[in-house]
Amino acid sequence: MRCVYADYKDLVKRYRHFIVPCANRLKSAARHFYGQVVCGYRISDIANPPNEILIDDVVMNTVSDLDRIMAYHPVESPTRYKFAAYTGFWWQRTKPFSCKKHDYSTIAENKLNDPTYLNLCKSLNETFVVDVMLSLIRRRPTGDFCTDRGKTFSYIDTQDSLHYFLMYRHYTAQELELFLKGLDTCPLVP
C-alpha cells in the first residue's frame, strides 16, 4: 500500500481563519444530518456517525486545491461555485459517512423490498453533500427530499439532478463547478 502524506503546515498557517470554521460547520452539518429522518428513515439507524477525521481531510484537500488554483491562475478568490464544487468533489472521494449495513442479511425483510431504503444505504454521502453544495451556492430548500416533485425547477428537482449526477456520473471538480453554475441559468420556482 502506497501512502502519501501532504504537509499542510504552511496551508494551515495561511488559512487557519478559514479552515477551522469551515471544518466546524461541515462537522456540525454532518452531525445534524446524522440525527435527521430522511424519507422516513433515521440516518443514525442506517449510518455510522460521521468520521470527523475524514471531514478534516475534505476541508484540507479543498483548501489545497483552491490555493493551487489561486497560485497559478488569475483568481483572487474562488467563487462560491468553485468552493461548493471542490467541497462536494472531496466529500465524494473521502466519504465520511459509512453504512452500518454490510450485507443483505443485516437488513430487515420489509426494508429489503424498499428501493428508497436501499438507495439511502448506498447514497448517504451524496444525500448529505447535495444540500451542503446547494446551500454554498445559496440555494435553499422548498420542500421535503421525498415529496414536492410536481414543480418545474423546484429545489427538489435541482436536488434530484445533483444527487443523480454525484451517484452515476464520472466527473472532475471542474465539471461539477460547471454543473453548479448551470443551475443558476434557470430560475428556481418557489
The predicted pLDDT at position 151 comes to 42
| pLDDT at res. 188 | 52
Residue ranges of the chain with per-residue pLDDT less than 50: 1, 144-152, 190
What size, in residues, is the chain? 190
How wide is the angle at C-alpha 135 spanned by C-alphas 134 and 139, nearest 5°?
Answer: 65
pLDDT at 10: 87
Compute the distance between CA of residue 29 and CA of residue 27 in angstroms, rounded to an integer.
5
The C-alpha atoms of residue 107 and residue 101 are separated, in whole angstroms, by: 7
Contact 121, 156 (CB under 8 A): no
Give the pTM. Answer: 0.82
The whole-number pLDDT of residue 5 equals 55
CA nearest 50: which of 132, 157, 160, 135? Answer: 132
Element (H, E) at 131: helix 124-136
pLDDT at res. 140:
62
pLDDT of residue 35: 97
Instruction: Specify the 3-state DSSP secondary structure of 38.
Output: strand
Q: What pLDDT shows up at residue 163?
A: 87
Predicted local confidence at residue 32, as pLDDT: 97
**Residue 147: per-residue pLDDT:** 45
pLDDT of residue 112: 72
Cβ neighbours around 60 below 10 Å, total: 19
Q: Side chain identity at 164, as an amino acid letter?
A: Y
**Which pLDDT score is estimated for 42?**
94
Q: Which residue has the cell 495561511?
A: 14
Q: Where would I find the H helices in the chain?
A: 9-34, 43-46, 52-72, 80-94, 109-112, 115-122, 124-136, 155-168, 173-183
d(Cα 103, Cα 81) in Å, to the nearest integer?
37
